[in-house]
Amino acid sequence: MNLSVLILPGDGIGVEVTREAVKVLRHVAEAGGHKLSLNEGLLGGIAIHRTGTPFPEETRQLALGADATLLGAVGLPEFDNAPPEKRPERGLLGIRKALEVYANLRPVRSYKALIDSSPLKNELVDGTDMIIVRELTGGLYYGTPRGISGTGAEERAVNTMVYTRAEIERVAHMAFQLARKRRRKVTSVDKSNVLENSQLWRRVVTEVAAGYPDVMLDHVLVDNCAMQLVLSPKRFDVVLTENLFGDILSDEGAVLAGSIGMLPSASIGAKRPSGAWTGLYEPVHGSAPDIAGQNKANPLGAIGSVAAMFEYSFGLAEDARRIYGAIEEVLNSGRVTADLKPAGKPAQTSEVGDAVCAALSARAVSA
Ligand code: NAD
């Protein structure tokens, strides 16, 4: 296959983890006899520095022309007080919208080797295996009117939470289809006791569920869901929710996986004529300014995002499984970064990327 991938390292540890993810991408493409063509583009703080905008037109064009995009992370402390349109994070919203990737899939599973890294009791976490499906291009993050106006005591800020039936239907279908490949259970999360927006969400999800009689549906209020995620994580299979709630709940999921550095994500939208998804792949974490430039960041979330790329955008599920297997092998070896609290000296970011490639090579030899 010809695989064309746009790489957007972004800011901070985004650059470091992406470098390791690209090593794995090259390795797997070569082993599978695929022709890989890579382009690199600017997004976030580095794009503001070089071009004055967080999402340059050139990046948009490169992303639209690629089969898939691999993103590191964006965000630099120097922009913390900048107006929203001048912040690196606006680049993230821009590329998601440009690619129309309306569903963000975040698998959260506990690995045996990491069970002690979670602050939760082992018996609570062991066996956790869920996927959070977050609506990504609607809701409060995009709704208008928005902005800050007025002065003094009259200064006010407005954001608007909007969802249309069509936006809810398409992401709900995605969740039910995923559930059919898993344990056939969807938990839809909303705040329908307070928000009209959530009332529509609940009604539409219930209607969509009627087309999937083999999948169980339950509804949970977001505040209860936040509690259930740490009290009883094994009860969840597919968690379906809107943009803001999904953003918050998926970080909570990091506690279950042992570290936020472990979590990959796939943002997918329209299907191409080949049947593969247009996709944006990125670890869940941010640019982590506190450890940036120190070769300390855990690259496994970014590497897992490459596995998701093989699965969803290239339709190469076997290659994806090999990458997940290599990640597990590295975890079992104990050569992991400091966030996973290894017994011995922590490994560096680059050592972990090399170890995943070595595990992949060893698997190829034994296969
Ligand atoms: P963060 O995810 O960057 O960091 C939170 C904590 O987790 C930090 O202590 C950090 O050191 C640690 N951490 C994160 N990723 C890690 C990894 N791979 N390995 C080891 N430790 C890791 O979140 P934050 O501190 O709230 O945000 C920092 C910047 O990142 C902000 O500018 C924020 O807007 C941005 N951000 C970007 C994204 C994205 O690009 N998708 C997501 C979240 C935050």
Average pLDDT of span 193-205 = 98
CB atoms within 10 A of CB 214: 8
> Smallest Cα–Cα separation from 336: which of 123, 143, 116?
116
When the candidates are 1.10.10.10, 3.40.718.10, 3.40.50.720, 3.40.50.300, the CATH number that belongs to 1-107+259-367 is 3.40.718.10
pLDDT digits (tens, 9 = 90+) for 68-99: 999 999 999 999 999 888 899 999 989 998 99
Q: How many residues does the chain have?
A: 367
Gap from CA of 244 to ligand 1 centroid (Å):
17
Mean pLDDT of 195-216: 98
Ligand 1 pocket mutation, candidates 90, 255, 260, criterion most atoms within 8 A of CB: 260
| pLDDT above 70: percentage of residues in the chain | 99
CA–CA dist 109, 328 (Å, integer): 11
Listed in sequence order, the DSSP H helices in the chain are 13-31, 45-51, 57-65, 89-99, 122-125, 165-180, 196-209, 222-231, 243-257, 300-312, 317-333, 349-366
Among the atoms of ligand 1, which is closest to the Cα of residue 339?
20
For ligand 1, atom 42, which residue shows the shortest CA distance? 286
**pLDDT value at position 72?**
98
Are the C-beta atoms of residues 267 and 280 closer than 8 Å to each other? yes
pLDDT at position 270: 78
pLDDT score recorded for residue 365? 63
- Do the domains 1-107+259-367 and 119-257 sit in the same CATH topology, yes or no? yes
Ligand 1 cavity residues, CB under 6 Å: 13, 17, 73-75, 89, 92, 260-261, 282, 285-291, 297-298, 301, 337, 339
As a whole number of angstroms, the distance between CA 200 and CA 113 comes to 42
Query: Domain segments of the chain: what residues?
Result: 1-107+259-367, 119-257
pLDDT in tens, 22-56: 999 999 999 999 999 999 999 999 999 999 999 99
Q: Which residues are catalytic?
A: 141, 191, 223, 247, 251
**What span, in angstroms and rounded, lies between the C-alpha atoms of 221 and 358?**
44
What span, in angstroms and rounded, lies between the C-alpha atoms of 12 and 15?
Answer: 6
What confidence score (pLDDT) does residue 58 get? 98
| The predicted structure's pLDDT at residue 318 | 93
CB atoms within 10 A of CB 230: 16
- pLDDT > 70? residue 143: yes
Q: What is the CATH number of domain 119-257?
A: 3.40.718.10
Tell me the average pLDDT across 12-27.
Answer: 98
Q: Take atom 31 of ligand 1 and give the residue whose Cα is closest.
A: 75
pLDDT in tens, 278-316: 899 999 999 999 999 999 999 999 999 999 999 989 989
Q: How far apart are CA 308 and CA 232, in angstroms?
A: 26
Pocket test for ligand 1, best of 8, 78, 92, 285 (most atoms within 8 A of CB): 285
* Residue 116 scores a pLDDT above 90: no
